[in-house]
Structure formats: structure tokens, C-alpha cells
Structure 1
Amino acid sequence: MPSILASLKDLFSSVFEVIFSVFQSAFDTITGLLTWIVNFLVGTVQMALHTVGETLKAAGGLGNLIASNIVLIALVAGGIYGYVRYQSRQGHPVRVGNKKLN
């Protein structure tokens, strides 16, 4: 008789373990899915922010290039203007090709 009771005890214990493992598996599946969804959304936002940041960084670099070129062109133009003014004040005609500038 004790072996029958032990067997029944083991049977009920096994049934409860099966039920518990089914619920545990379902819970793990749901939490894993939710974790995946959250990580996907966070990763998408991080990727978008990184892309925007790098685009702005590139645009800033391009802006620096354009600004430095504008400054350089302005310096050259100012130098040419100063040279032409100096030559005209000295009474020397400034020629470009066959044309007189002053």
C-alpha cells in the first residue's frame, strides 16, 4: 500500500510539474517576445538618432569647407582689388589681355 500512495504522490507531483512547466514556458515566451519588441524599438530609435547625428556632422563639415572657401575667395578678391587700386593710384594702367581696367 505505501508504494501505491508513493506512486500516486509522484503522479500528482508530475502532473503539477507539467502544468507549471507549460505556464513557465508560456511566460518565458511572452517575456522574450516583449523584450524583443522593446529592443527592436529602442534599436530603431538609436539608429535614427545616430543617422541624424552623423548627417548633421557631415553637413557641419561641409559648412566649414564652404565657409573656409568663401573666406579664401574673399581674401584673394580683396588682394586683387587692392592691387588694382594701388596700380591705378600710381598711374599705371591695369591690363587684362588687351583691355584696360582703369
Structure 2
Amino acid sequence: MSGIFQSLSDLVTSLFEVIGSFFKTFFDLIYGVFAMIVNLFSGAINLVLDFFKGLVELTGGVVGFVFGNILIIGVLAVAFFGFLQYQRNQGRTVKVGDKKLN
């Protein structure tokens, strides 16, 4: 007789476990959908932020490159002007093409 009660007890326990697993699966599904939506929006926001961060880094790199080139051209121009002044002070004629600058 105790075997029958034990079997009925196991049957009822199994039914509650099945119902509990259905609820757990349902809530896990709801949580998964909610997490997916949150990750979708946070991923979109991160995409936009990373895009603008890359754009700023690219702009900074281009601006640095341009200013570096301007600086080098300026140094070369000052050196050339200094060389021309040195040549004039030494009494030498400075020629550019067929024209004399002195």
C-alpha cells in the first residue's frame, strides 16, 4: 500500500515539476526577448558612438598630418629665405631661373 502512495506522490511531484518547468521556460523566454531588445538598442547606441569616435580620430589624424606638412613647408621656406639672405650678405648674386633677385 505504501508503494501506491509513493507512486501517487511521485506523480504529483512530477506534475508540479512539469508545470514549474513550463513557467520557467515561459519566463526565460520573456527574459530572453527583453534582453535581446535591450542589447539591440545598446548595440545600436554603441555603433553610433564608435562611428563618431572613429570619425573624430580620423579627423584628428588628418588635421595632424596637414599641420605637420604645413610646419615642414614653413621650416623649408624659412631655411630657403635664410639661405637667400646669407647669399645676399656675402655679395653673391641670387639667380632664380634667368632672373637676378639682387
With structure 1 as the length reference, what TM-score do the two structures score? 0.71
The one-letter amino acid of 1:39's match is: N
Q: What does the per-residue CA deviation read over 1:34-89, in whole Å, with 9 as the maximum and x for residues that have no partner?
A: 10010111112222222222222222222221121111111100011111112222
Q: Within 5 Å, which residues of 2 pair with 1:8-87?
A: 20-87=20-87
| Contiguous gaps of at least 5 residues in structure 1 | none
| Contiguous gaps of at least 5 residues in structure 2 | none
The one-letter amino acid of 1:96's match is: V
The one-letter amino acid of 1:25's match is: T
* Two-structure CA RMSD over aligned residues (Å): 2.7
- Mean alpha-carbon deviation: is it higher for 63-72 or for 74-83? 63-72
2-structure distance, mates of 1:9, 1:76: 96
Aligned residue pair count:
101
The one-letter amino acid of 1:72's match is: I
State percent identity of aligned pairs. 38
The one-letter amino acid of 1:32's match is: G
Question: Displacement of 1:15 after TM fit?
Answer: 6.8
